[in-house]
Every structure is written in C-alpha cells, then in structure tokens.
C-alpha cells in the first residue's frame, strides 16, 4: 500500500492524499461533517495508477457519470481505476478547513488562475475579483470564445462546487430532453435510484416559512405568486437537519456562512459523502487525483492505450504514464469528454469516431439577473447558500428561475436569480490544429433567446412590484449575466455519437457516461438527470458487455 502526500505551494498549504490509499480520508470528511456516511472501513489498498499497468476498466473523471459507473461496476465485481485531473479535497488547509469560503477566496478557489473570476463579477458596479496564488484549485472558469464554462475540479467533480439543487424534470418535458430513452423506465426506476443514491431531500416547509436564512426565498416566492407564477420548492442534496443546527448555532456552519462555489465543508452531500463513499467501501476502486488523461487509442494487443499526465499543484506535469485498459469510460464532463474525443478523432488516435462527436452542445439556457427591491422588502443579511425554490414558467415562457442567494452578509435589498431557459442554440467543438486546442463556437449573442425567456418572468414581476433590474452585478450598467454557464451539456449525444446506452460508435469498449450525452438542455438543473442516465446505461452495459 502506498500513500502519497503532496504539499501545495499556495498560501494555505493544502495537501492531498490519494483517497484510495486506505487512509480513511473520506471517513475523515464525514467526521468533519459531524454526521455519518454509508462508508465502511476502507479495504482498498493501492496508490495512484502505476506506469505500464494493465487494468480492466479505466474511468476518466470522478463526477456524477464517473462515480455511478465506477460504483456499479465495482459492485458487479469489476476492478476499476478512476483518473481525476483535480485534487482529492480530503485534507484541511492551514485554516483547518478543506474548502475556502466564497467571501474570502484563496488559492484553493480556482483552477490555475492568478485572479478570481467570480460569476457575479461586480457589486455596486465595482469589480470584486481579486488576486490569488495560482493553484490546482476547485473551480474552473474555462473560457471559450463566447462563453465561460464553470466546472468543478477534484474527486467529486461538479458535486464539490455546485448549489446542490437536485431536480427531477417534469415528466411531460422528458421527451424533449432525451427522446430515445424510455421515460417509464427512467421515472419508475432510474430517477428514484439516482435520488436515493444522491441523498436528495426537501426542506421542511414550516422551517422555510420561519427561518431568517430563507427570507430572500420567501420574498422571491411572494413576488412570483403576486404576478401569477407558480413557485415550486426544489429538493437539494443538503442535510436539512444539519442546516437547522447551523441556524441554532450548535454545529460548525457551511450553508449559513456562505459556502458555495469553492466547496462546502459540512452540510452538503457532495459525491464524497454518497457515491464515492460507497465506492470506497467496495474495496475495488482506486482513484488517482491530479492525473489528467491526454490520449486514448487502440492498443496493439487489444484494449486501449491511455496516456496520463501526473500533475503537481502548479499544474505542471511531473510524470507521463502510459497504461492499457480493456475498457475506457469517458466521464470527464461535457467539456472534458468532448475536448478529448474531438481531439482524438482529429489527430488520428480514434479516427473511427463518427461525425456527431463534438456536436449538440448547449448551456442549459443559463442566464442570471438581479432585481432591486423596495426598502420595505429586505431579503435578509443572512442567506443560506443552498437555493430551495424556483419560479416555473417553462410551459408558458420557456423559463425556470431559481431564487438564488446573494450571501454578502449585508442587506442588499436584491433578489437574485439563475434562470434555466429553453434556449435552442447549439454549439460545436472543433480541433484547432494551429493551437492544438479544442475550440467551441458559441456566441454571446446566442443568449438573447434566454434573456427574452427570463424577461417573460421578471418584466412582469417588476411591473407588478414597481421595481427595476439591478444593473451593477455583471459590470457597469449591465443587467444580464449572459457570459457564462454552470450547466454544460452535450458534445457526445446519446443515440448519435453513441448508441442508446453510451457505447461510442466506431469502437468496442469505449463508453460515454456523463453530461455530454444530453443534448444541451434538461429544463431544470442537470445533475439528477446525468446520474439517472448513468444508472440506466451502466446497468445495461454490465448485463451485456461484461
């Protein structure tokens, strides 16, 4: 058994250990969280993947698609190696916390940036980004020509950084989300399995109605309902009992001290506490953090040659490893998987991938805005970082708006929203031979349909309430946050680039399991659908391909 500890060069001196080395580090996270996980004693005893290794299954990425895949394979008796470019996030920094706070970003906050790139970039018109030491931090703000795509980096993928909103789409919308998938199977079997595996739960409505920390959401509900829009409670993967204890002051706080975007130290049930804890308990899975897959190609004796760069916390490659895997699962997220596949096809490593690779990418119609409320409508200086309600105008206006927090610690009189819209625009990834990079041809102007759909809600609310849009949150006199997405989807669409279960066309033993399978929109927040689809696909693949 090997254990490896690397000390970062950043100000907090965060270190990381391989989660698979039998260190009990996931249990350590649970202990910090002050509540139990499903993890049993660690039985796996292995370090990062060894150069020259020959493994039965290699999974690229440790987000939702990758974690579901690895767990179900391991439970079926298959040994799995997971490769993750980000850090393990299992060891506290000098401040005693694993994750940095949103209001005080440090080196842990961003993936290889010297200045933060906060989604909400301004306050009162002034830029709020600040310099930080470059480090393999947790949130990647990946810039393409017309859009910045936010993604989680580390063991747990997007579950480390996201808002935890765990939404199953309405059944009547499912046919437009995944047209080739049997909806009965999804709603009877795989959505329930995903919700249970993720630990999804709903806030106690009575507590919602009285607690200070959801004053902002109650104002959002009041304004929605006065304009005739349905307000719906949104389930989440937060331990709601823990949040009540946070409010009572009896446990260390995370949602109630604005932890979001850069990780959550206690109450959120990220994959570390759910699927990854179960994975650890199987004893059949090893995870190599700070390892980045750069190439996959057919091996001469069968299977696939996989090239992996081992990184240090400056992002530099310290060792390049070549291994062979009988089967490879691409679970690097919509952007990560699409970039890999597009490059591998264009550079002749996987030339038989079909012409659908890189196509059908969408932003889930994300657009942000704020509204300025009257002085008699305060939204509260204490705001839980976990959103718990939304305004549903999907059928009439193509928009589902989360009532989001603005947890600044002071009264802002602002209502803030992330709206998911039925934006029809789809972009394509393509290989740029001159730079060696993969580009995305999204254009900022393609957000206009999203803005129009969001306005179907907020123009009406503003008219009813006699209020106006905030113009100071995304620049100087700029209403719409139309430069970003949190929800990248597509690039290797199910039943187009792959068969109807994620097997890549053109090769045997190559699979896609993540958000790149979904054609650009889920009508709600995507991770429950990504998880449920991965559950469905891996069940079929285990039954037929192993």
Catalytic (active-site) positions: 402, 487
User: Which of the 8 DSSP states describes residue 361?
Assistant: B
As measured in angstroms, the least distance from the Cβ of 492 to ligand FAE is: 11
Please pick, from the candidates 69, 91, 136, 151, the single residue that binds ligand FAE as defined by CB under 6 A: 151
User: Which of the 8 DSSP states describes residue 201?
Assistant: B
Cβ proximity to ligand FAE: between 247 and 438 the closer is 438
Q: Which residues contact 155 (CB under 8 A, 6 or more apart)?
A: 19, 62, 84, 86, 87, 88, 89, 90, 272, 276, 287, 289
Cβ proximity to ligand FAE: between 214 and 413 the closer is 214
As measured in angstroms, the least distance from the Cβ of 530 to ligand FAE is: 5
CA-closest candidate to residue 471, choices 394, 382, 369: 369
Decide if residue 153 touches ligand FAE (CB under 6 A): yes
CA angle, 161 as apex, 160 and 167 as ends, to 5°?
90
As measured in angstroms, the least distance from the Cβ of 66 to ligand FAE is: 6
The H or E element containing residue 16 is strand 15-17
Please pick, from the candidates 49, 177, 258, 332, the single residue that binds ligand FAE as defined by CB under 6 A: 332
Evaluate whether 59 touches 65 at the Cβ level (below 8 Å): no
Cβ proximity to ligand FAE: between 413 and 497 the closer is 497
Please pick, from the candidates 19, 64, 238, 501, the single residue that binds ligand FAE as defined by CB under 6 A: 64
Q: Which of 69-77, 145-153, 179-187, 348-356 is the region at the interface with ligand FAE (rule: CB under 6 A)?
A: 145-153
# residues contacting ligand FAE (CB under 6 A): 39
Q: Which of 16-24, 36-44, 48-56, 59-67 is the region at the interface with ligand FAE (rule: CB under 6 A)?
A: 59-67
CA-closest candidate to residue 63, choices 216, 244, 279, 229: 279
Cβ proximity to ligand FAE: between 167 and 257 the closer is 167
Decide if residue 397 touches ligand FAE (CB under 6 A): no
Cβ proximity to ligand FAE: between 152 and 362 the closer is 152
Cβ proximity to ligand FAE: between 25 and 334 the closer is 334
Cβ proximity to ligand FAE: between 19 and 527 the closer is 527
As measured in angstroms, the least distance from the Cβ of 495 to ligand FAE is: 17
Please state the length of the chain. 546
As measured in angstroms, the least distance from the Cβ of 331 to ligand FAE is: 6
Evaluate whether 16 touches 87 at the Cβ level (below 8 Å): yes
Decide if residue 336 touches ligand FAE (CB under 6 A): yes
Cβ proximity to ligand FAE: between 315 and 378 the closer is 315
Decide if residue 487 touches ligand FAE (CB under 6 A): yes
Q: What is the 3-state secondary structure (H, E, C) of 281-331?
A: HHCCEEEECCEEEEEEEECCCCCEEEEEEEECCCCCEEEEEEEEEEEEEEC
User: Which of the 8 DSSP states describes residue 61?
Assistant: -
Q: Which of 101-109, 146-154, 374-382, 470-478 is the region at the interface with ligand FAE (rule: CB under 6 A)?
A: 146-154
As measured in angstroms, the least distance from the Cβ of 477 to ligand FAE is: 25
Please pick, from the candidates 22, 515, 519, 520, the single residue that binds ligand FAE as defined by CB under 6 A: 515
Please pick, from the candidates 258, 311, 530, 533, the single residue that binds ligand FAE as defined by CB under 6 A: 530
Q: Which of 18-26, 45-53, 154-162, 464-472 is the region at the interface with ligand FAE (rule: CB under 6 A)?
A: 154-162
Q: Which of 18-26, 60-68, 248-256, 276-284 is the region at the interface with ligand FAE (rule: CB under 6 A)?
A: 60-68
Structure tokens at 162: 């996201």
414-421 and 367-372 as β-strands: parallel, antiparallel, unpaired?
Answer: antiparallel
State the residue for tokens 């959103």.
387
Please pick, from the candidates 22, 48, 137, 152, the single residue that binds ligand FAE as defined by CB under 6 A: 152
CA-closest candidate to residue 285, choices 21, 82, 38: 82
Q: What is the 3-state secondary structure (H, E, C) of 469-530?
A: ECCCCCCCCCCCECCEECCCECCCCCCCCECCCCEECCCCCEEECCHHHCCCCCCCCCHHHH
Count the alpha carbons within 13 Å of 411 in the hemisphere toward its beta carbon. 11
Q: Rounded to whole angstroms, how far apart are CA atoms 54 and 154? A: 24
Q: Rounded to whole angstroms, how far apart are CA atoms 356 and 383? A: 43
Site for ligand FAE in 163-182 (CB under 6 A): 163-165
Cβ proximity to ligand FAE: between 65 and 481 the closer is 65
As measured in angstroms, the least distance from the Cβ of 266 to ligand FAE is: 17
Evaluate whether 57 touches 326 at the Cβ level (below 8 Å): yes
User: Which of the 8 DSSP states describes residue 144?
Assistant: -
Decide if residue 90 touches ligand FAE (CB under 6 A): no
Q: Which residues bind ligand FAE (CB under 6 A)?
A: 60-65, 83-86, 150-154, 157-158, 161-165, 261, 292-293, 331-334, 336, 340, 486-487, 514-515, 525-527, 530
């Amino acid at each position: 058994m090997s254990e490896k500890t690397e000390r970062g060069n950043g100000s907090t001196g965060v270190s990381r250990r391989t989660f698979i080395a039998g260190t009990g580090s996931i249990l350590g996270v649970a202990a910090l969280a002050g509540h139990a996980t499903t993890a049993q004693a660690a039985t796996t005893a292995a370090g990062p993947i060894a150069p020259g290794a020959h493994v039965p299954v290699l999974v690229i990425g440790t987000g939702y698609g990758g974690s579901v895949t690895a767990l179900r394979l391991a439970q079926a008796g298959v040994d799995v190696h997971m490769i993750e470019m980000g850090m393990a996030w299992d060891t506290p920094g000098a401040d005693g916390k694993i994750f940095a706070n949103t209001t005080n970003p440090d080196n842990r906050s961003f993936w290889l940036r010297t200045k933060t790139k906060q989604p909400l970039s301004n306050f009162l018109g002034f830029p709020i980004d600040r310099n930080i030491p470059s480090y393999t931090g947790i949130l990647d703000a990946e810039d393409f020509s017309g859009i910045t795509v936010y993604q989680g980096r580390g063991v747990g993928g997007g579950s480390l950084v996201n808002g935890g909103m765990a939404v199953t789409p309405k059944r009547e919308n499912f046919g437009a989300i995944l047209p080739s998938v049997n909806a009965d199977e999804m709603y009877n079997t795989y959505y329930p399995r995903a919700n249970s595996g993720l630990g999804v739960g709903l806030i106690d409505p009575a507590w919602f109605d009285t607690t200070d920390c959801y004053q902002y959401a109650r104002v959002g509900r009041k304004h929605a309902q006065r304009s005739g829009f349905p307000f719906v409670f949104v389930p989440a993967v937060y331990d709601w009992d823990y949040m009540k204890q946070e409010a009572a002051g009896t446990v260390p706080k995370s949602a109630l001290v604005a932890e979001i975007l850069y990780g959550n130290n206690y109450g959120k049930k990220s994959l570390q506490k759910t699927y990854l804890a179960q994975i650890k308990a199987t004893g059949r899975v090893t995870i190599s953090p700070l390892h980045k897959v750069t190439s996959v190609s057919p091996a001469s004796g069968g299977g696939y040659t996989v090239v992996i760069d081992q990184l240090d916390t400056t992002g530099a490659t310290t060792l390049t490893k070549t291994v062979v895997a009988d089967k490879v699962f691409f679970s690097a997220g919509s952007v990560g998987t699409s970039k890999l596949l597009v490059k591998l096809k264009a550079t002749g490593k996987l030339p038989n991938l079909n012409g659908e690779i890189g196509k059908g990418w969408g932003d889930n119609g994300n657009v942000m805005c704020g509204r300025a409320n009257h002085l008699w409508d305060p939204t509260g200086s204490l705001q839980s970082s976990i959103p718990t309600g939304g305004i549903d105008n999907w059928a009439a206006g193509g928009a589902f708006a989360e009532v989001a927090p603005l947890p600044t610690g002071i009264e802002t009189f602002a209502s803030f929203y992330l709206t998911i819209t039925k934006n029809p625009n789809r972009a394509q990834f393509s290989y740029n031979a001159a730079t060696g990079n993969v580009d995305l041809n999204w254009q900022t102007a393609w957000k206009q349909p999203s803005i129009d759909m969001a306005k179907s809600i907020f123009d009406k609310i503003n008219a009813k309430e006699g209020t106006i849009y905030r113009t100071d949150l995304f620049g100087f006199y700029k209403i719409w946050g139309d430069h970003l997405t949190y929800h990248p989807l597509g690039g290797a669409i199910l039943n187009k680039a792959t068969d109807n279960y994620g097997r890549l066309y053109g090769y045997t033993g190559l699979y896609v399991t993540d958000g790149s399978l979904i054609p650009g929109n889920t009508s709600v927040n995507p991770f429950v659908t990504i998880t449920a689809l991965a559950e469905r696909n891996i069940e079929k693949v285990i039954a037929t391909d192993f």
